[in-house]
Amino acid sequence: MPSSNMQPKIRIDNLHVVYPGRRGEQVEAVGGVTLDITDGELVCIVGPSGCGKTTLLRVLADLEQPTSGAIQMLQSNPERPLKGTVFQGAGIFPWMTVEQNVAYGLKLRGVPPVERTATARHWIGEIGLERFAQAYPAQLSGGMQQRVGLARAFAFDPEVLLMDEPFGALDAQTRLLLQQTLLQQWERRTKTVVFVTHSIEEALTLGDRVCVMSARPGRLLHEVSVPFARPRDAIALRTDPRFSTLFAEIWDVLRDEVDRARADEVAG
């Protein structure tokens, strides 16, 4: 749901990231990505393994410096944190209860204890873990832990949410349920989301737009505008004939890149 503001929320301009390789060679992870993302847009990025998706997100999260090129992110509300991340594995602290984990970002933001507990409880309710508010992560299943990671991100309420394969390690059913949870929460409280996934289905289910990256050095090869109306239903979508057409269109581009990435790995 893009706003009328013509300036993009995120501007990635000819971004290159080069790492030093193991044998002193240079590994070009990101090879010139240019992309504008509108305020409130949910953009999914797919690409073969090793093509620089995580690197791109790490640059957006300020965890990595570009070798060249630039990124800009517009802050529209100084009261709200600009960015938050959900990376693979829930990234939650094992020594904190569910409630403390969900409230953690609010604590960092200096939100008073009563208010942050109330917000944390609200989000724990939204993800259906009320009974586990005082449990520790080790007492939860992987899918429940991932829900805690989502609740923490939503409680933190950043303008831009950067998500790197957050559901990658989950079984197919839990994954579908969490996609549905993310859709519902995002549709209620729109934020700009950059979501990296290996799953074309997931990208089509969640995204306003799907960007396909090339094998390393990662560039944007292809873009698909996802036509499905919102609110979306993660299950019902799959029976839409456009779903399989778009799947085939993306896979057509991706297949060659996966082959190229494999060949590159074998050549070492």
Ligand X SMILES: Nc1ncnc2c1ncn2[C@@H]1O[C@H](COP(=O)(O)OP(=O)(O)OP(=O)(O)O)[C@@H](O)[C@H]1O
- Is 19 a binder of ligand X (CB under 6 A)? yes
Residues in contact with 178: Cβ distance below 8 Å, sequence separation at least 6, in sequence order: 143, 146, 147, 150, 166, 167, 170
Residues in contact with 70: Cβ distance below 8 Å, sequence separation at least 6, in sequence order: 11, 13, 14, 15
Which of Mg ion, ligand X, none does residue 27 bind (CB under 5 to 8 Å by kind)?
A: ligand X
Q: Which one of 53-61, 67-75, 76-84, 133-141 is the stretch in contact with ligand X (CB under 6 A)?
A: 53-61
Phi and psi torsions of 5, nearest 5°: -60, 125
Nearest residue (CB) to ligand X, 27 versus 133: 27
- Is 32 a binder of ligand X (CB under 6 A)? no
- Bridge pairing between strands 209-213 and 220-225: antiparallel
- Is 216 a binder of ligand X (CB under 6 A)? yes
Nearest residue (CB) to Mg ion, 54 versus 67: 54
Residues in contact with 111: Cβ distance below 8 Å, sequence separation at least 6, in sequence order: 119
- Is 67 a binder of ligand X (CB under 6 A)? no
Nearest residue (CB) to Mg ion, 54 versus 117: 54
* Site for Mg ion, residues 50 to 79, rule: CB under 5 A: 54
Distance CA 77, CA 82 (A): 8
Q: How far is the CB of 50 from ligand X (least distance, A)?
A: 4
Residues in contact with 16: Cβ distance below 8 Å, sequence separation at least 6, in sequence order: 28, 30, 31, 32, 66, 67, 68, 69, 217
Q: With CB under 6 A, what is the number of residues at the site for ligand X?
A: 12
Token pair of 36, please? 């504008």
Q: Which one of 46-54, 70-78, 122-130, 223-231 is the stretch in contact with ligand X (CB under 6 A)?
A: 46-54
Out of 50, 81, 89, 143, name the contact with ligand X by CB under 6 A: 50
Which of Mg ion, ligand X, none does residue 216 bind (CB under 5 to 8 Å by kind)?
A: ligand X
Give the 3-state secondary structure of residue 42: strand
- Is 9 a binder of ligand X (CB under 6 A)? no
- Angle between helix axes 98-108 and 142-156 (nearest 10 degrees) is 30
CA–CA distances in Å: residue 148 to residues 24, 42, 84, 130, 166 = 41, 21, 14, 11, 12
Q: How far is the CB of 65 from ligand X (least distance, A)?
A: 12
Nearest residue (CB) to ligand X, 17 versus 124: 17
Out of 38, 55, 101, 119, name the contact with ligand X by CB under 6 A: 55
Distance CA 92, CA 80 (A): 21
Nearest residue (CB) to ligand X, 2 versus 32: 32
Q: What does the binding site for ligand X look like in residue numbers (CB under 6 A)? A: 19, 27, 29, 47, 49-55, 216
Q: What does the binding site for Mg ion look like in residue numbers (CB under 5 A)? A: 54
